[in-house]
Amino acid sequence: MMATPVTAELAAREAAAIFPTYRRQPVAFVQGEGAWLVDAEGRRYLDFLSGISVTALGHAHPAVAEAVAEQARRLVHVSNLYYTEPQIALAERLKATLGWPDAWAFFCNSGAEANEAAIKLARLYGKARGEGKVNIVALEGGFHGRLLGALLLTGDPAKHAPFQPLGDWVRHVPYDDPDALHKAVDENTCAVWIEVVQGEGGVRVVPDEVLVAAREACDRVDALLVDDEVQTGLGRLGAWYGWQTTAVTPDVVCLAKALGNGLPIGAIVAHGEAAKAFGPGDHASTFGGGPVVCAAALKVLEVIAHEGLVARAATLGQALTARLAALGEGRPLVQGVRGRGLLQALVLSRPLAAVVTARALDEGLVVNAVASDALRLAPPLLIGEAELDEMAARLGRALDAVT
């Protein structure tokens, strides 16, 4: 896609004002509604990325917008030196969706911050049981954010290299090797970090055997199992949380992305002994859990529950798999499909995902190259059968153009 005059002008202004940390696609979006985006020229795009698994209720959801506006008219910020009811109500609601009546929550502003908070929680938990119990085992291919601690957890050496030294307190093991995980966990391990589906790792489903091994290893050495649900939580996999599609229960979950449907909010929720690790002064956030973002999150959870979107994601996930599998018929470029619920990847036989993504954008379809040979699709939970058909038609044309 060639940049339009409006986009080219914005690109020139950005180049003089913003660090070049992002590789932008040549389009400027100015409006959204439901599963659709509109660019500066008025062209409509079908959004099957949801801002990277963020806008689970689609763009400009009226109930969320009204909740934000109503709260903003009353109170925006007072800091965490004082009580605010929306934050407490949100913690109570998250406990209910998790089924953890003894849980406690901590609120922050992003997924990376949630993982950083969980690192501190895990270290305090470990040090209470032994001074050297501060190490963590994580999975290769995992992604947990770009702050320094979360970056070290992330199982991608290429992302570590520019910022070394990051420390040596994290050990990574293959995402599909339960024996390696068991061997890596010892008495100095305070936590094991997992994702049920590795979003940034290429939408790879972590085998159940690895998840079970992680739970067993944590129980063996009294460590915490921390589940990063930033991309997989809140209905996307066809359950409230990804771990609920498996045979294991974590001690801590990290949340963000869909929780605010686009507003910046993250959280960790811990239960059992893990919930007792934090005390006054151990962690804090000036903006974390502010009234406006908590009002948005409460409305997000209400809409998901009221409209049955968790079960819908499971059903529509099967339909999405069928559409993607059909795209492989007669197309050697398509190798297969992987993922779960409404977080899936179309796997290619050649490393042409970036090229297909660009051609899809030409067709008015938003997806992304999550790996050199994989396209990530994460549509809103409100997506319909007709929009699945439209996606398949547009992506099919993009695949044919590249072939």
- Please write the tens of the pLDDT for every residue from 300-319: 999 999 999 999 999 999 99
Kindly tell me if the per-residue pLDDT of 1 is higher than 70.
no
Domain ranges of the chain: 5-60+308-402, 75-306
- Please write the tens of the pLDDT for every residue from 257-291: 999 999 999 999 999 999 999 999 999 999 999 99
- Please write the tens of the pLDDT for every residue from 362-385: 999 999 999 999 999 999 999 999
Give 372's strand partners.
none
Give the whole-angstrom CA distance, residue 275 versus residue 353: 42
Question: Residues with catalytic annotation?
Answer: 143, 228, 257
Q: Class for domain 75-306, per CATH?
A: alpha beta
Q: Is 235 exposed, middle or buried (CB count within 10 Å of its CB: 0-12, 13-18, 19+)? A: buried
| Cβ partners under 8 Å of residue 49, min gap 6 | 366, 367, 368, 376, 377, 378, 379
pLDDT > 90 in the chain, percent: 98
Is the CB of residue 115 less than 8 Å from the CB of residue 106?
no
10 Å Cβ neighbour count for 214? 28
- Please write the tens of the pLDDT for every residue from 3-28: 788 889 999 999 999 999 999 999 99
Across the range 63-76, mean pLDDT stands at 98
Give the whole-angstrom CA distance, residue 31 versus residue 137: 42
Give the whole-angstrom CA distance, residue 260 versus residue 403: 39
Is the CB of residue 44 less than 8 Å from the CB of residue 36?
yes
pLDDT > 70 in the chain, percent: 100
pLDDT on residue 5: 83
- Please write the tens of the pLDDT for every residue from 172-210: 999 999 999 999 999 999 999 999 999 999 999 999 999
- Please write the tens of the pLDDT for every residue from 108-135: 999 999 999 999 999 999 999 999 999 9
Paired tokens of 376? 């990530």
pLDDT on residue 215: 98
> Residue written as tokens 């689609």?
58
> Residue written as tokens 């036989």?
349
- Fold assignment, 5-60+308-402: Aspartate Aminotransferase, domain 1 (3.90.1150)
261: DSSP letter? B
Is the CB of residue 300 less than 8 Å from the CB of residue 57?
yes
Amino acid residing at 340: R
